[in-house]
Amino acid sequence: MFDVVCVGFGPANIALAVALDEIWPAARVKFVEREPAPAWQPAMMLDGADIQNHPVRDLVTPRNPRSRYTFVNYLHEQGRLFKHLNLPVDHPLRKEYARYIQWVAETVPADVDYGRNVTAIRLAGDAAEVRTADGGSYLGRSVVVAPGRSPYLPAVFDGVPFPRAVHTSRFLPGIADLDRDWAGTLAVVGASQSAIEVLLDLSTRFPAARIVNVMSGYGYRLKDTSPFSEEVYFPEFVDYYYRASEEGKQRLRDQLRPTNYSSADRDVIDALYLRMYEDELDERRRMTLLGNRLITAARHDDGGVTLDLTERITGAREQLTADRVILATGYRDLGTKGRTEQLPPLLREVAEVLRVDPETGLSVGFDYRVENSTQGAGAPPIYINGLCESTHGLGDAGSFSLLALRSKAIVDSLRQRLSAGAVAVASR
């Protein structure tokens, strides 16, 4: 019996492991990870791609800047601190941050079982049972779920198999079989930062290919990087957002969406525009942008994937056939409307003990603990680490910005609840 069983060992739970080591080292904790080794975004390790956030907003610094697990200390231990400080860029390369995350995962004294895919969480008396695909199980007095958000694939692509349709979460594996001289057609769906990164990568990787970008808007929108808007990644905003009404939360989401979604940084927008302009000078048409297009259907056969498109302003209809379709369509959040799912798939078998509102979805406390239903009295505490944008704001949108502070909130809550539970058992 563990005090805590943690599902997943990506950045969210790696930061939690650091917080446990520094705040509550006596806790008996098991981490269970489906991948064979620690890795962050391995399918999007693209040349030149950066992390889009300040490097000091790492796994630990906002909580404990004196920790040995900071990004700055990582650079120091690797002998790259001064070279990194001399880089002519605003943000670190994604490749380097991935190595930092791997270094922390391998350095922190966490008990991790790799290569074990968690398939379900069930109740076992006053404990939680975490089941794995190989028939194994773990018992915990509490559970922290950090599986990452589910990829969003538009319904029209249901039934289109991999690698005919490839979400960006599987981008590099989805094109691994194509060689540099490949001259087919690639369609990229979306207008986000990831979409532009993929376009730039594909045009370099396959110079003979035809690349078509299909997007629902007119063109790429510049990300809102105003320092006033960026205060949504302050801990004070989490409190402000959490206590807002549902109407207020929706208003804030509408106002602040360009700080993270359906937009891109200026450096990649400028790089793409320059590349397309240079192609035009060289009288070659490698990349085409199809804006204001709605994809109404997608069919696949041996010849590729055919998309039915409708121009949203004129109503004109057309078809596009591509060998591969790359879906830069983002991820699902928790909720009940739009691109959401009501609760993480791993919690479906314990849904009856969780408070789920049909209008707003899963009820999550300020400490990231899922609130229990009336049938859930006495159920072990279950926490969600990294999926709570709908309840806690944009700092929970897959960003590193508040990850360290969220880990502290979860550890403090776990320690209080489990210690109180142990006292109650001892007094009986």
| Domain extents in the chain | 4-149+332-427, 155-222+261-327
**pTM listed for this prediction:** 0.95
Q: Which CATH architecture has domain 155-222+261-327?
A: 3-Layer(bba) Sandwich (3.50)
Q: In 208-239, which positions are buried (b, 16+ CB within 10 angstroms) versus exposed (e)?
A: ebbbbbbbeeeebbebbeeeebbebbeeebbe
The pLDDT score that the predictor gives to residue 84 is 96
Mean pLDDT value of segment 327-340: 89
Question: What percentage of the chain reaches a pLDDT higher than 90?
Answer: 87
Token code pair at residue 260: 């993270």
Residues 123-128: contacts with CB under 8 Å, at least 24 apart: 123/350, 123/353, 123/379, 123/380, 126/378, 126/379, 126/380, 127/1, 127/380, 128/5, 128/350, 128/380, 128/382
Other CB atoms within a 10 A radius of the CB of residue 67 amount to 18
The span from the CA of 272 to the CA of 291, in Å, is 15
The pLDDT score that the predictor gives to residue 54 is 92
Mean pLDDT value of segment 208-218: 97
The pLDDT score that the predictor gives to residue 426 is 47
Domain 4-149+332-427 and domain 155-222+261-327 have a common topology: yes
Other CB atoms within a 10 A radius of the CB of residue 64 amount to 16
> In the predicted model, is pLDDT for residue 139 greater than 70?
yes
| Whether 4 contacts 140, CB under 8 Å | yes
SS3 state of residue 182: coil
The pLDDT score that the predictor gives to residue 350 is 95
Range name among 1-10, 236-245, 334-343, 361-370 with the lowest pLDDT average: 334-343
| Whether 189 contacts 214, CB under 8 Å | yes
> In the predicted model, is pLDDT for residue 329 greater than 70?
yes
The span from the CA of 293 to the CA of 90, in Å, is 34
The span from the CA of 2 to the CA of 127, in Å, is 9
The pLDDT score that the predictor gives to residue 422 is 62
Phi and psi dihedrals of 81, rounded to 5? -60, -50
Mean pLDDT value of segment 7-29: 98
Which residue's entry shows tokens 């709908």? 390
4-149+332-427 carries CATH number 2.130.10.30: no
**Alpha helices, DSSP H, located in 145-265:** 171-175, 193-205, 235-242, 246-256
